[in-house]
């Protein structure tokens, strides 16, 4: 490396820090590798990266049926997300905390970009006595890394597109089990397929078992209970928790 190159790299790193994109840059380029090195082979269902847009203080949703906090005119296709939480022995787990967050129909995360309230499309809820939860939301759009910042410029320099496929984020927490940080993607969505020109997820975090099929339904009782306007999409997934690692005794 020449001294001139060193100074250019120095300026670029300082610009990254000044832009506030350090969490974005690190999670984009390194987190999926660390996640696989740490958790590949763990029993239970697959995890995925947390990414830079989790907020630890999302509102606790109490009254059922759950509706993720959203604006009165929240744009996007209405969707019902239904989860079943079991352990590796197949036993259902009630009272598991499900912390869920997602981008909106414009691909932005509340609290980071745009003028949606800080807790928009974020919430923490608990599984019922059958280890299940169901929550009304809207289908998230694919996420594009901002093109104007240093991370977007870097992607341009290496000839890489800036897209993540549409996804939900989850962190499941249950006493006696390892926390499960994961994501769900939608079959047939853009930026999923590594083999297409341009490639797949820019963050490299998609796993086959996390790609789910979108259903469509218009059950009148569900529409009434959850406050849908009409037909809605459905997304179902079984989350399998891994037993906690015993702490070594001295
Ligand atoms: C995201 O929304 C995300 O989930 C990750 C891992 C990286 C950048 C943006
Ligand atoms: Fe994300």
Mention every residue, 6+ apart, whose C-beta is less than 8 A from residue 107: 140, 141, 142, 143, 144
Give distance in angstroms: CA of 128 to centre of ligand 2: 26
CA 229, CA 223: separation in Å to the nearest integer? 7
Is the distance from the beta carbon of residue 201 to the nearest atom of ligand 1 less than 6 Å?
no
CA 238, CA 157: separation in Å to the nearest integer? 40
Residue minimizing CA distance to atom 3 of ligand 1: 51
Share of the chain above pLDDT 70, in %: 99
Nearest ligand, CA 101: 2
171 DSSP β-pair partners: 99, 181
Report pLDDT for 129. Answer: 97
Nearest ligand, CA 167: 2
CA 167, CA 185: separation in Å to the nearest integer? 5
Mention every residue, 6+ apart, whose C-beta is less than 8 A from residue 78: 136, 137, 138, 228, 229, 232, 233
Helix axes 3-19, 150-157, angle to 10 degrees: 140
The CA angle 67-115-200, to the nearest 5 degrees, is: 75
For 233, the 3-state DSSP assignment is strand
Give distance in angstroms: CA of 3 to centre of ligand 2: 37
CA 139, CA 71: separation in Å to the nearest integer? 14
* Tokens describing residue 154: 């870097």
Is the distance from the beta carbon of residue 142 to the nearest atom of ligand 1 less than 6 Å?
no
What protein residues have CB closer than 5 angstroms to ion ligand 2?
51
DSSP string for residues in 105-126: TTS--TTTSSSS-TTTTEEEEE
Tens of pLDDT along the chain (250 residues) come to 999 999 999 999 999 999 999 999 999 999 999 999 999 999 999 999 999 999 999 999 998 999 999 999 999 999 999 999 999 999 999 999 999 999 999 999 999 999 999 999 999 999 999 999 999 999 999 999 998 899 999 999 999 999 999 999 999 999 999 999 999 999 999 999 877 766 799 999 999 999 999 999 999 999 999 999 999 999 999 999 999 987 777 7
pLDDT in tens, 226-246: 999 999 999 999 999 999 987
Lookup result for tokens 């496929």: 165
Nearest ligand, CA 32: 1
Lookup result for tokens 């059958």: 130
pLDDT in tens, 56-102: 999 999 989 999 999 999 999 999 999 999 999 999 999 999 999 99
Give distance in angstroms: CA of 224 to centre of ligand 2: 30
Is the distance from the beta carbon of residue 143 to the nearest atom of ligand 1 less than 6 Å?
yes
* Tokens describing residue 125: 């809820």
Lookup result for tokens 């590594």: 194
78 DSSP β-pair partners: 138
- As a whole number of angstroms, the longest Cα–Cα distance in the chain is 69
Report pLDDT for 61. Answer: 97
Hey, which of 23, 32, 33, 52 would you mutate to test ligand 1's pocket, going by the most ligand atoms within 8 Å of its Cβ? 52
Hey, which of 23, 121, 145, 164 would you mutate to test ligand 1's pocket, going by the most ligand atoms within 8 Å of its Cβ? 164
Is pTM beyond 0.85? Reply is yes
CA 129, CA 226: separation in Å to the nearest integer? 19
Is the distance from the beta carbon of residue 155 to the nearest atom of ligand 1 less than 6 Å?
no
Hey, which of 28, 142, 155, 163 would you mutate to test ligand 1's pocket, going by the most ligand atoms within 8 Å of its Cβ? 28
For 26, the 3-state DSSP assignment is helix
Between the CA atoms of 163, 167, 168 and 170, what dihedral angle is there, to the nearest 10 degrees? -70
Nearest one of 49, 29, 27 to 38, comparing CA atoms:
49
Helix (H) or strand (E) holding 128: none
């Amino acid at each position: 490396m020449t001294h001139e190159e060193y100074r250019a790299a120095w300026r670029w790193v300082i610009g990254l820090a000044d832009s506030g994109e350090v969490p974005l840059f690190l999670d984009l380029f390194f987190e999926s590798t660390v996640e696989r090195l740490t958790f590949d082979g763990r029993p239970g269902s697959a995890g995925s990266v947390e990414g830079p847009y989790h907020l630890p203080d999302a509102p606790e949703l109490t009254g059922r049926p759950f509706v993720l906090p959203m604006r009165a005119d929240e744009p996007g296709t209405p969707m019902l997300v239904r989860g079943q939480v079991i352990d590796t022995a197949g036993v259902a787990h009630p009272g598991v905390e499900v912390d869920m967050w997602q981008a909106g129909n414009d691909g932005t995360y509340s609290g980071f970009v745009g003028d949606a309230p800080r807790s928009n499309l974020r919430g923490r809820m608990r599984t019922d006595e059958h280890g299940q939860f169901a929550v009304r939301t809207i289908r998230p759009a694919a996420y594009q890394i901002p093109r104007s910042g240093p991370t977007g410029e870097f992607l341009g320099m290496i000839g890489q597109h800036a897209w993540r496929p549409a996804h939900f984020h989850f962190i499941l927490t249950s006493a006696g089990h390892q926390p499960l940080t994961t994501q769900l993607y939608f079959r047939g969505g853009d930026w999923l397929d590594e083999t297409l020109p341009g490639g797949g997820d820019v963050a490299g975090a998609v796993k086959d078992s996390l790609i789910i099929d979108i259903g469509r339904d218009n059950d009148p009782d569900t529409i009434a209970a959850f406050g849908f306007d009409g037909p809605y999409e459905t997304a179902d997934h079984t989350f399998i928790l891994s037993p906690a690692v015993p702490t070594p005794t001295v």
